[in-house]
Amino acid sequence: MICGFRTTPWSARRARASSTRWATFDRSRPEIGAIATGVAQRALDECLRYSRSRSAFGQPIASFQAIQFMLAEYGQSVSRRCACLTYKAAWMVESRETPNAISSYAKLFGSDACMKITTDAVQIFGGYGYMKEYPVEKLMRDAKLLQIYEGTSQIQHVGHRARSAEGLTARGPPHESATGR
């Protein structure tokens, strides 16, 4: 005891701080997934609006099969994958469960899908996609921030590989094995 306060060894305080940090990540990463889902949905909405109004070769670019495939894939990615993982992680947080793997998946998949969707949105907009007058330019910058914030996507991948090797993701969504097959 020092000045009437109980002291703990440095390692115990450090372990407690680490535990608190990871518990905070478990609860904040679903928020990143939710933001990523919203940014991706906005990019999809902007692409739909723009592709219906922009014409090439005498027809709206929305009538081109390549654009249709991209937009359909993005709609599935946002509504089914990103949102479902985020909802599951948020539900686990609300239920006082430990959502460590699911939270991390929600953040990782949400931010990566958001980045892909916004990058391709810039492509759909063509040269206009880089202009500040069009919203997809800012959405792409926001998506990149989401990949970096709360642990970069590369660090998330490393964490998933480690959990996979330890067998800790048994309750999580399907994932690649540690060998990448």
Residue positions annotated with a catalytic role: 150
Q: Which two tokens stand for residue 83?
A: 């949102």
Alpha-carbon span 68 to 61, nearest angstrom: 9
Pair 101, 86: CB distance under 8 Å: no
State the residue for tokens 């492509």. Answer: 123
Say which residues have a Cβ less than 8 Å from residue 76's Cβ, sequence separation at least 6. Answer: none
**Long-range contacts of 14-21, Cβ-Cβ distance < 8 Å, separation of 24 or more:** none
How far are the Cα atoms of 68, 113, 121, 140, 143 from residue 124, in angstroms, in the given order? 11, 16, 5, 13, 17
Looking at residue 97, its amino acid is E
Q: Which two tokens stand for residue 140?
A: 């792409």
